[in-house]
Amino acid sequence: MRLSFPYMGPTIVYAKLFELLGHDVVMPPKPDKEIIDLGVKYSPEFACFPFKVITGIYLKLMDKNLDALVTSGGHGPCRAGYYGEVHKKILQDLGHEVEIIVIDSPHDDYKYFYEVIKRLKGDSSWLQVGRVIKIVYELTKALDEIEKKIEILRAYNDQGTINKLWMQAQEEFYQIKNTAEIKEIKNKYLNKLIKFEDSIPVEAERYKIGIIGEIYVVMEESINNQIEEKVNRFGFEVECSQYLTDWIRENAFPFLGKDLEKIEKKGEEFIEIGIGGHAQGNIGHAINFKEEGFDGIIHLKPFGCLPELVSQSVMDDLSEKYEIPVLTISIDEQTADANVLTRVEAFLDMIREKNYREVM
């Protein structure tokens, strides 16, 4: 099948997955002003921002002769689980004939899930599918490992140099065929990064920011105004609450340990039951970041995000109780880069100042 998918985070992972399964993959365009404008125009006004971005990406892909768009579903109650169904309506209404394949959890509708998987697997045998999944998982792990390094090193080194290495790594990873190559490339780049590690100061002088929030705006830098780079620019290290590896591990290989679940359980102190999205988990991560000695939290969410509005409501209380500064930023089509930069800068200044006073 000739197919594509929404652009989010490490797109090469999805591309690789479908490519290795024998599909003709069209890389989705990276969200930019044009795509966002297009998406906003054809989406409901109060749809959440990721929905609008994805509408834009789909519309941009419409002249590529696709057979299908593949996206993830879910059982809510976060709206993201219903994107696929509404996108179908919108594309149909605009006269585009393309199928949207929604990968739902097998718990919701086992038969449908099985049909979808059978189609996506194509002519590959189940053994091959297993192999492909292994490669993709290893690839994600390697990418996340390097990215975590990057997010630390960028704080103390020339951003351009580090970013260039990161880009090169991603390009090289795109060519891999098996797990041995992944390992090779990973080690190559980890070695290249070693010489930069001298610049990391002693523990007491390191500043760390945890980024939590809705998964799409946390993972997709073209949407979140490159927030990680911005924070790095001021000499602060960054770690996100969500990486794709964790997500795949928890969902596809639950037997590999439940560290993430333990962290997310901590959120019960503020949000008693699961309310959809990652709201409860994010609260857990915020508490966890504090316990690990982070200096501040940046909470990202799309404007009007249902679960994250609940977590934002309890955030003041959390910030006070755990004595950790929190900055919440809502992201939508009107978010201006300068605005985000100013707020981040003021926030980070405040953290340094606070720390300075405490030391004195």
Nearest to 214 by CA among 236, 240, 237: 240
How far apart are the C-alpha atoms of 72 and 305, rounded to whole Å? Answer: 18
Amino acid making up residue 240: C
Q: By C-beta, is 159 or 334 nearer to other proteins?
A: 334
Contact call for residue 273 and other proteins (CB under 8 A): yes
Across the beta sheet with 208-213, what order do the strands follow? 237-240, 208-213, 296-302, 326-331
Contact call for residue 270 and other proteins (CB under 8 A): yes
Contact call for residue 24 and other proteins (CB under 8 A): no
Cα atoms in the 13 Å half-sphere on the side-chain side of 83: 27
Contact call for residue 15 and other proteins (CB under 8 A): no
Tokens representing 170 are: 């991603």
Out of 139, 150, 306, 327, the residue judged to bind other proteins by CB under 8 A: 306
Out of 85, 171, 261, 353, the residue judged to bind other proteins by CB under 8 A: 85
Contact call for residue 258 and other proteins (CB under 8 A): no
Contact call for residue 48 and other proteins (CB under 8 A): yes
Contact call for residue 73 and other proteins (CB under 8 A): yes
Nearest to 307 by CA among 80, 55, 102: 80
Contact call for residue 27 and other proteins (CB under 8 A): no
Contact call for residue 115 and other proteins (CB under 8 A): no
Mark the segment that binds other proteins (CB under 8 A) among 89-97, 206-214, 224-232, 245-253: 89-97
Contact call for residue 307 and other proteins (CB under 8 A): yes
Q: Which of residues 327-346 bind other proteins (CB under 8 A)?
A: 330
How far apart are the C-alpha atoms of 260 and 245, rounded to whole Å? Answer: 11
Instruction: Identify any residues that bridge with 71 across adjacent strands, giving them in sequence order.
Output: 102
Out of 156, 234, 303, 322, the residue judged to bind other proteins by CB under 8 A: 303
Kindly determine how many residues on this chain lie close enough to bind other proteins according to the rule CB under 8 A: 48
Mark the segment that binds other proteins (CB under 8 A) among 82-90, 161-169, 224-232, 292-300: 82-90
Q: Which of residues 133-162 bind other proteins (CB under 8 A)?
A: none
Q: Which of residues 311-330 bind other proteins (CB under 8 A)?
A: 312-314, 316-318, 330
Amino acid making up residue 237: E
Contact call for residue 39 and other proteins (CB under 8 A): no
Q: Which residues contact 333 (CB under 8 A, 6 or more apart)?
A: 36, 37, 40, 49, 52
Beta carbon of residue 236, minimum distance to other proteins (angstroms, whole number) = 26
Binding site for other proteins (CB under 8 A): 43-48, 73, 75-79, 81-82, 85-86, 89-90, 92-93, 102, 104, 108-109, 112, 270-277, 279, 303-307, 309-310, 312-314, 316-318, 330
